[in-house]
Structure 1
Amino acid sequence: MKKWWLAAVLLGLSAVLAACGGNGNAQGGAKEKMVIGYFPNIDHAPAMVARENGYYEKALGKGVDVEYITFPDGGTFMAALKAGEIDAGLVGPGPVLNNFSNGADVKILAGASSGGTVVVASEKSGVDSVEDMAGKTFITPGIGCTHDVQFETYLQQLGNDKLASSRIGGTLNHVTGNPASYAAMFESGKVDLAAVPEPWGSILVENGAKVIISSDDIAYGNTLPNTVLVAGSKLSEDKPELAAKLVDAHQQAVDFINDNPDKARKIAIQSIKDLTHQEMDPAIVSKAMDRITYTTDVNEAVLKEFGTSSYDLEFLKENPSFDGLVAHGE
């Protein structure tokens, strides 16, 4: 009986050890987890391509499990990053600068895309030019988000006090919402204008909206990194080897988009369909992607100018220094 009991114990112990080893890395320890976030927007195509082609998984190795979370706006992304719910991902510079100025632990590792923000007006709005905007309602993904700052900076540069958000004494009413819902909001008449990323700008135009401010004319146009790859210091400083591998995978994705635009478009269309249940016309997506430059470069000087604009628009209480924000930039 004792021999039988000892054999059972040893068998059970072997099973436990095998189970632990099966979920571990090459050294037998538990796998690390990397959670990456991004949005269902065309300017976030590098994350979609990297996910589809397995670039993150290949670069980080078998000892790291990669998971993905998608977000509707930069505010919720940054909240997740600060809470440790994600380790890295793609987001617009507006929320990054706003949170960094308030002491958030965030580093920009690389650029992802630039350009692509447009301001469009609904058919029902009666807006045919910027001069018609007074008293109208505009929508952006978030308060102080990248597209919001670009639009409001453009208006501020006109020098017309009425053409500003009511938040800072102007006549324009500002609301926020998920870009995937803008077409319905235009149709209902709830909003007149949208400062929006691609492909949603092109989709709204296809449905009858009119471009009032093009991606070339809006503030910071194509010079601003419209989307950046960011991480917290637990990754960028405590695990620099993993951070470097993540950047390498990101570079592969950007190169793939530039070398294989047709394949990248198909990946983006399918990814956005999976996330939003909206299937987009390939011709529309092709036009949208043509308005965007995919690059890992980061123009730190432009980022700092953009941060000053956020302060001038009263999204930031103080005009902070952004030194140290960019871990890998120009």
Structure 2
Amino acid sequence: MTSSKPGMTRIEAGENAVPRRRRAIEAGLAIGLVLLIAVGAVVASTISRHEDAQAAAPANNAAAELKLGYFANVTHAPALVGLSKGFLQDALGSTKLSTQVFNAGPAAIEALNAGAIDAAYVGPNPAINSFVKSQGESVSIIAGAAAGGAQLVVRPTINSAADLKGKTLATPQLGGTQDVALRAWLTSQGYKTNVDGSGDVAINPTDNAQTLKLFQDGKLDGAWLPEPWASRLVLQAGAKVLVDEKDLWDGSLSGKPGEFPTTILIVNKKFAAEHPDTVKALLKGHAKSVDWLNTAPAAEKTSVLNAALQESAGAALPADVIDRSLKNIVFTVDPLAGTYPKLLKDGVTAGTTKQADINGIFDLAALNEVTGQSISAAGLGKG
């Protein structure tokens, strides 16, 4: 039995069926191709949307390691506390935190500019000097840490500025914040000083621990020092305060009488550009340290700081030294940006820097984002 029409031979019917089968196959292929193209378009669209979403999402720019510098001073308590209580490492998460202890700012700045560290707690004048020398390319100030806590302490026989002529004084390091403060103050008193140690008053930049010993041995007449070293000379070596630096700041520049920046947090600009999330994490840990210092019970604060000083400097301090030091310091994330034109001017007067435009030295945007505050850069950068 066949399906051919009447009158067709078997061969004719078979020949006629071949084109029909071919057309059916071709039609099926065409439909399949259309479906394949449609499916391909959907898949391509999905992939494209996924890639677009990936491009829109922020890249993971966390650094593998953050190398941080600080001093074993009570004025660097936010660093000491942040390390001791784990605030900094906790905020940094998987980023490894490595640290290096310095005696003064210029040495820390040198290490930062050489790439040995990425961020540092330093005094403001070394940061200004680095910014000026690099024409704004080296560092950014990203937060404050401590205000106050620096004094000129001298022998009991010295009662006024007039008694300093021909005397020998010390500072932690040439070009450091206390060195600049001393030289600028002596200039205001009519004295001439030189960076080579000559002049009406000799200034010998000296390691803080060595300053204490030299003073005790009668080889120094005094020193302009940060805490706890000012307190150590007073309580352990019989010195007296001739100038408390807070008395030189009336608040007209910062809006906070008696407050001047002693310790700030800076970061290498290249590191900050490559790892902005790591900088934010560092600031979170830093802000937590400052908050803790402003709220912790006095006894706990003394205990934690002494343990941290023991680890970083190899020696703890008597409770009275810690207590006196803390009374002279205000811990704040505000770098007091309004004081920086004067700090620059003092550096020029001291002969340790040159007059320059320091606009752009601050980048407080991340700090304000992290803390929810509106800390001003005083027109000298991002706030």
TM bin, normalised by shorter chain, reads 0.7 to 0.9
Where does 1:285-324 land on structure 2 (aligned, <5 Å)? 285-316=322-353, 318-324=354-360
1:153 aligned onto 2:184? yes
**Counterpart of 1:97?**
128
Cα distance in structure 2, aligned partners of 1:39 and 1:264: 18
**Counterpart of 2:53?**
none
Cα distance in structure 2, aligned partners of 1:177 and 1:212: 19
Change beyond 3 A, Cα 1:128–1:240: same
RCO higher in 1 or 2 (8 Å CA, sep ≥ 6)? 1
Give structure 2 stretches of 5+ with no counterpart. Answer: 1-61, 251-256, 365-374, 377-383
Aligned 8 A contact 1:89 1:231 in 2:
yes
**Counterpart of 1:178?**
207
Deviation per CA, 1:93-135: give whole Å up to 9, x if none: 1111111110051110100001011001135xx4222210001
Where does 1:164-243 land on structure 2 (aligned, <5 Å)? 164-167=192-195, 170-206=199-235, 207-218=237-248, 222-243=258-279
Shift of 1:235: 2.7
Q: How many residues align?
A: 297
Whichever residue aligns with residue 143 of structure 2, its letter is A
Shift of 1:223: 2.9
Aligned 8 A contact 1:77 1:91 in 2:
yes
Aligned 8 A contact 2:246 2:259 in 1:
no
SS in 1 for 2:204: strand
Whichever residue aligns with residue 200 of structure 1, its letter is W
Shift of 1:312: 2.3
Shift of 1:314: 1.8
Aligned residue among 287, 295, 301 for 1:259: 295
Shift of 1:167: 4.2
Whichever residue aligns with residue 250 of structure 1, its letter is H
Give structure 1 stretches of 5+ with no counterpart. Answer: 1-29
TM-score w.r.t. length of structure 1: 0.84
**Counterpart of 1:85?**
116
Cα distance in structure 2, aligned partners of 1:219 and 1:164: 22
SS in 1 for 2:152: strand
Cα distance in structure 1, aligned partners of 2:102 and 2:71: 5
Aligned 8 A contact 2:63 2:278 in 1:
no
Change beyond 3 A, Cα 1:297–1:31: closer
Cα distance in structure 1, aligned partners of 2:350 and 2:206: 20
Shift of 1:303: 1.3
**Counterpart of 2:65?**
33
**Counterpart of 2:140?**
107
SS in 2 for 1:272: helix
Aligned 8 A contact 1:150 1:219 in 2:
no
**Counterpart of 2:39?**
none
Cα distance in structure 1, aligned partners of 2:195 and 2:266: 29
Shift of 1:287: 1.4
Shift of 1:31: 7.3
**Counterpart of 1:246?**
282
Aligned 8 A contact 1:115 1:222 in 2:
yes
Cα distance in structure 2, aligned partners of 1:58 and 1:267: 17
Whichever residue aligns with residue 153 of structure 2, its letter is V
Cα distance in structure 2, aligned partners of 1:166 and 1:211: 24
**Counterpart of 1:43?**
75
**Counterpart of 2:369?**
none
Deviation per CA, 1:188-209: give whole Å up to 9, x if none: 2221110000011111101211
SS in 2 for 1:216: helix
Shift of 1:276: 2.7
Shift of 1:262: 3.0
Shift of 1:281: 1.1
Where does 1:60-79 land on structure 2 (aligned, <5 Å)? 60-62=92-94, 64-79=95-110
**Counterpart of 1:15?**
none
Cα distance in structure 2, aligned partners of 1:300 and 1:83: 26
Cα distance in structure 2, aligned partners of 1:54 and 1:92: 23
Cα distance in structure 2, aligned partners of 1:149 and 1:143: 8
Deviation per CA, 1:298-322: give whole Å up to 9, x if none: 2222112211211122212x31111
Cα distance in structure 2, aligned partners of 1:197 and 1:145: 11
SS in 1 for 2:274: coil
Aligned 8 A contact 1:118 1:218 in 2:
no
Deviation per CA, 1:61-100: give whole Å up to 9, x if none: 12x1111110011111011101111111200011111111
**Counterpart of 2:52?**
none
Cα distance in structure 2, aligned partners of 1:144 and 1:31: 31
